[in-house]
Amino acid sequence: MIESDSNAVAGDYLERLAQETDVRSARRALLASDIDAQGLEALHGRLGGHEPPPDDPAAVSVGARLSLAYSARPLAPPEVLTTDAHGITRLRTAPPLARTPLAPEPWAANPFVRYAQRTRDWIGRGFRRRHKARQESPTPRWQKVGMWRRKVLLLLVVGQSLVAAEYMRSVLPYQGKQALEVAILALFVLLFCWVSAGFWTALMGFFQLLRGRDRYAIDARDVHEDAPIDDTARTALVVPICNEDVARVFAGVRATLESLRDSGQERHFDLFILSDTFDPDLAIAETHAWLSLCRELDAFDRVFYRRRQRRVKRKSGNIDDFCRRWGANYRYMVVMDADSVMSGACLTRLVRLMEAHPKAGIIQSAPRASGRLNLYARMQQFATRVYGPLFTAGLHFWQLGESHYWGHNAIIRLAPFMRHCMLAPLPGKGSLSGEILSHDFVEAALMRRAGWGVWIAYNLDGSYEEMPPNLLDELNRDRRWCHGNLMNFRLFLAKGIHPVHRAVFLTGVMSYISAPLWCLFLILSTALLAVHTLSTPQYFPEPGMMFPVWPQWNPTLAVGLFSATATLLFLPKVLSVILAISQGAKDFGGGARLFASMVLESLFSMLLAPVRMLFHTRFVLTALMGRAIQWRSPSRDNSDTPWSDAVRHHGMQTLIGAVWAAGVYYMEPTFLWWLAPIVGALMLSIPVSVFSSRVSLGRWCQHARLFRIPEETHPPRVLRRMVRHLKRMRRQQDAAPNFVQVVVDPVANALGCALATSRHGLSSALRRHRDEQVTDVASENPERIGASTRLRFLDDPVLLSMLHHRVWRSADAHPDWREFGTPRQVSWRVPG
């Protein structure tokens, strides 16, 4: 019974808290009061309905605080807001566990060990058993067709490269007979093969899109959009996130869920937000955004949230954790990125495609980029939207069911994925060993190794993503991808990998190794110029020669070779524009603006190519030298690049370009014209990086209908919803409580305790350890508490409720706790 003055304050607080319209003033009254420890314990006991434990009195009142604060409408349904075995209120954020034991298979990349194992397998009639298995399951027709297609591609690339090599040999002064010329010729052949492969891929994609159908491919039009979905075909939408823009993530998630609801197939899908966030304020914002989403859509039984405390293997480990806990409940899984948005029609069609093709393990959609306003991002959106379909369709033509998986916006058959695609760390030491970073290519290779097809549904609409807003953010992403692809190449000789996926590992690493190869080619070409300019020609390079060898320069052949290479690079872009015009260019701003956008984007790409070359060269070298990288989430905002950042990142490139140009001009001024696109781009890298990041220039191009894409001319409904929700969720995120308010404010603390996931421990040693932690933190200035400590308290409901009680009752508590814990003028309570 409350008898003291402080107890009277507690009673007054209880009465005022019961009036929902005056919750904020009730909290302020408690903050301003001089209530003592006895009064606080009485308050918690009265709220909880029984005598509170002496070490954690605030825990018993968690449910009552939430019930009173949300008296008009309960915070969550009774089956979600539950009580644990210790009588403490818990808010269930995830479904009951359905554990499945999962274990990755160790890598066998040594070919000699594999050969010995294969020899042992053949002993004891193993060969006959395999031969019989092949006869019982004949090779599908598409596999044979794909094999012949790839043979044709190899013939085209090699033949074209040999012809180009012969032309290049004729261009060189000594026709490739000197060591320096041999090195240049070898690098040229490698780089030309890379260019040729891209050209033939885009050319075949052009004919594929022009024809409209490939009878051997999985086609989104093969299934009817109204075909029923089996009730047992449950699909989990998983969204792995880590320190992401909370408003952007949940705006995309909500737009996707509402689109699914419009499709009438929502019952077949559950959504999981899988968080690895270690920023405490973002973690708080995520839980409040999840609560808002579930309350507003009445989706507590469909939308779940889990934040891992043990963050291993990054994104792939997060997905592994989901599979281990709940994968057995679902037939399929759709992986989405933090910036992904997918329409309900796209998701349901992916499920129907899986149902129609029971041997498909992964079906990758072709996400379209949209939503950015920076000039740089708008040009990249335009490029991926106009040129991308040619390369995607061409890639699928050559690969068929042995295609790429890009890690997001794809549907996966969970049973084989859980059995065959768990990733073991790469053996050894150094930066190229340990946890696999770029998991998607490896998972596709393992799925195909297990006998399941990996397909690209390149003509499926309704799948969207966002591009990095500026050049520096894109390069930051490229550094992660470069490191991951270099690690993946260690699996080139791994046991059982299909030849196509070995080629995927090769092309993945070649997309970054080509930069240092190109850089070396340019350095050797400059060195060749220096040798012939600064030294006496060798007319008799070998002893005993009767006749001199005259150096020959063939500028006509050089111009022809340059023109042919440029044709291979730019013809796919021209074909893309032709295809877009033939299908209707109005959504791209009209034919004239479409062509102008292509020309401007091509010029801009030429400016950026040398800049990317030097950055990628540095990324490759630092990875090979053993330097680890920090795997950070990319920017999700339309951010401009400051001049200071541009100077810091591009200053050395500008200096290299200037020194290079001066040296070439000194040796041979006429050769500078050939090198001008390279050195000129490097010297302009700072202003190009800054001005291309400008949102104002992007908006000007938007008004001028340059770099326009159909998703901008006629935005799909799911994207319009995302933009609308994003504005409102940014306001909600700004009003969310911080860590200090979660500790001090009674209602915020109750929410935090209900959402925390650590188990209660009742041992005396653990209680003593918790009391020591609470004492240390309560006496510390809250601004000086580290992120790891804050996160530990957010994870542990006992620590959080003990700290709440301690900062109120203890005279040793730092005064800034109660000062900074005063609720904001704008209420942060969960809406709905």
- pLDDT number for residue 575: 94
Helix, strand, coil percentages (3-state) for the chain, rounded to 5, are 60, 5, 30
219-223, 695-699, 703-707: range with lowest mean pLDDT: 219-223
- Tokens for 185, please give them: 């010729």
At 538, is the pLDDT very low, low, confident or very high (cuts 50, 70, 90)?
A: low
Torsion angle defined by CA atoms of residues 721, 723, 724 and 728, in that order, rounded to the nearest 10 degrees: 130
pLDDT at 1: 34
Cα(600)–Cα(691) distance, integer angstroms? 15
**Partner residues linked to 81 by β-bridges:** 91
Give the separation between CA 508 and CA 76, rounded to whole angstroms. Answer: 47
pLDDT averaged over every residue in the chain: 84
Strand 341-342 and strand 463-465: the pairing is antiparallel
Task: Count the Cβ atoms, other than its own, within 10 Å of residue 651.
Answer: 12
pLDDT (tens digit, 9 = 90+) per residue, 53-93? 767 778 888 888 888 778 778 888 888 888 877 777 888 99
Does 827 score more than 80 pLDDT? no
Residue 334 contacts residue 340 (beta carbons within 8 Å): no
Of the candidates 99, 105, 101, the residue with the CA atom closest to the CA atom of residue 442: 105
- The separation between CA 325 and the C-alpha centre of its own chain, rounded to angstroms, equals 23
Alpha-carbon span 134 to 68, nearest angstrom: 68
**Structural contact between residues 519 and 527, judged by C-beta atoms closer than 8 angstroms:** no
Sheet holding 410-413, edge to edge: 303-307, 269-275, 235-241, 332-335, 410-413, 360-365, 453-457
* pLDDT at 506 > cutoff 60: yes
Question: Of 80-89, 200-209, 506-515, 576-585, which gets the smallest average pLDDT?
Answer: 80-89
Closest CA to 634 of 160, 245, 159: 245
Please say whether the dihedral angle defined by the alpha carbons of residues 571, 572, 578 and 581, taken in this order, is positive or negative.
negative
Residue pLDDT, tens place only, 662-703 = 988 888 787 888 888 899 999 999 999 999 999 999 999 999
Instruction: Specify the DSSP element, H or E, that contains 91.
Output: strand 89-91
Taken in order 262, 263, 266, 272, the sign of the CA dihedral is negative
Locate all alpha helices (DSSP H) within 79-178, ordered by sequence.
111-122, 126-136, 141-171
3-state secondary structure 761-819: CCCHHHHHHHHHHHHHHHCCCHHHCCHHHHHHHHHCHHHHHHHHHHHHHCCCCCCHHHH
pLDDT at 713 over 80: yes
The partner residues of 332 in beta bridges, in order of sequence, read 235, 413
Q: What is the pTM of this model?
A: 0.88
* pLDDT value at residue 169: 84
User: At residue 19, does pLDDT exceed 50?
Assistant: no
How far, in Å, CA of 553 to CA of 557, rounded?
Answer: 9
